[in-house]
Amino acid sequence: MVDVIPEPLDVLSHGDGFFELDAGTGLVAGEGAERTERWLRGALGAATGLPLPPGGSADDNVIRLCVDPAVTAELGAEGYRLTVAPTGAQVAGGGPAGLFWGAQTLRQLLGPDAFRRAPLPGGSRRLPLCRLQDAPRFPWRGLMLDVARHFMPKEGVLRYLDLMAAHKLNVFHLHLTDDQGWRVRIERYPRLTEVGSWRPRTKFGHRASPLWEEKPHGGHYTQDDIREIVAYAAERHITVVPEIDVPGHSQAAIAAYPELGNTDVIDTASLTVWDTWGISPNVLAPTDNTLRFYEGVFEEVLELFPSEFIHVGGDECLKDQWRASPVAQARIKELGLAGEDELQAWFVGHFAKWLSARGRRLIGWDEILEGGVAEGAAVASWRGYGGGIAAARAGHDVVMCPEQHVYLDHRQADGADEPVPIGYVRTLEDVYRFEPVPPGLDESQARRILGTQANLWTEVMEDHARVDYQAFPRLAAFAEVAWSALPAPAERDFAGFERRMATHYRRLDALGVAYRPPAGPLPWQRRPGVPGRPIDGPPPNR
């Protein structure tokens, strides 16, 4: 039985018997397979205790890795074919990425113990006989991690990259800045992290909660930390897309550099990094000084992140200060704009052009559609399907991440034991039946859907165990939605997925993932007395 997650495209055959790995089993890599060879020898060598030497010319007792143009032609660069015979195994990738995803499948076939860091007595060292081929549905299979609200140290980020790779997710959207913290060192503006990465205390629970954690919270990544994260991700064929928020969600930056704020409206020098949740009214001033400052920020960001896309936020920008600001009103008049929405569009559009001139592309949340969006910009549709539909029809690329479906900070059940319940109930089955391509798009518009992304906002996730609880097992269901060629939502075999999850839970156990058990939270996973914000009823499907 091939209990692989995400489900492969085709299982061509599955016979009885096994290929037994032993001390003589070699690992042979062809041209283009070097990264996968390095990763696979490290992962399987640690789990099995086998040396997996480079091997030789013998056909027997080897695992072969190769990039095959025939696979490329049929399945694409991220596709692969995997064959396990009694005498050995072969993974042939359409490209280096496809080969790596095939190696991930091979690891799953070896059994849950293959996900451990040291061999267990009597641990499995055999692969079931099979032939399968596989390729992803979408090129963008993303996970967003918010490290601004609660900081995750570098080691935790690297761990999440491994968890993404194990599920064939390939875009890591790193939410680095917000009102509650600035998490990346910018050398020319050191106060962004010296001041902006720490807040004096933290709201515990939803923003209406009366509870506080009365100790400073913060941290940031050095530029070498970021280089390490990006390189570690690239080894796993994951692209890191940074997010630097403008013009809203910027109080941490204004606390560090008060001149960035609307100084003609409020005393920005009195602001601190925000210690609660919600949407801060303190937004960037639409001045040339602010533009030059953030151009300096983005210059360093581009040096650290080679990704095609750079995320600039663009969401939830409250405009009360702009309405009250003579400077902002003068800029609206100078530019001949219709109002504050167009002023925001001008602000975001400036950076779309600035990034385009440097060979990059801007992506932002769907609010960037308001007031017009620059040509070439992509849209992350979070407020439902509507923004993505409008963007696709207008000729923009889209990443679908509607909060009603794939915001994994939303609660997983309606029971009283669910920790800090936020938003709608989104069960494992709900996520499994999520469809990224909305109805009503024609063929050319549907091609604008680059893929989909699950988002982890960390207001009520104070440490990696809480992140694990919210992410898993739903991230496994999401990964199958993003990768596999599933039927329409109502026709999906959720019972079959649950059967495969019985094996996958054991893999997550081996990886030390603090997932939500199917029967509900364990005692230490609950947060009694910490208020959340549950929303009753089914979410709107729009």
Residues involved in catalysis: 178, 249, 316
Query: How many whole angstroms separate alpha carbon 346 and alpha carbon 221?
Result: 30
Other C-beta atoms lying within 10 Å of the C-beta of residue 536: 7
Residue 529 CB-density burial (10 A; 0-12 exposed, 13-18 middle, 19+ buried): exposed
Reported for 504-507, long-range contacts at CB under 8 A and 24+ positions apart, including other chains, are: 504/3, 504/5, 504/473, 504/476, 505/473, 506/112, 507/108, 507/112, 507/115, 507/166
Query: How many whole angstroms separate alpha carbon 93 and alpha carbon 520?
Result: 39
For residue 473, cis peptide bond before it (omega within 30 degrees of 0): yes
The percent helix, strand, coil of the chain (3-state, each to 5) is 35, 20, 45
Query: Which residues make beta-bridge pairs with 400?
Result: 381, 452
Query: How many whole angstroms separate alpha carbon 187 and alpha carbon 38?
Result: 34
- For the chain, count helices (H), then strands (E): 18, 24
Element (DSSP H or E) covering residue 242: strand 239-246
- Residue given tokens 């980020």 in the structure block: 157
Query: How many whole angstroms separate alpha carbon 177 and alpha carbon 305?
Result: 15
Query: How many whole angstroms separate alpha carbon 40 and alpha carbon 64?
Result: 11
Read off the tokens for 503: 């094996």
Read off the tokens for 209: 């909660």
508, 515 contact by CB (below 8 A) = yes
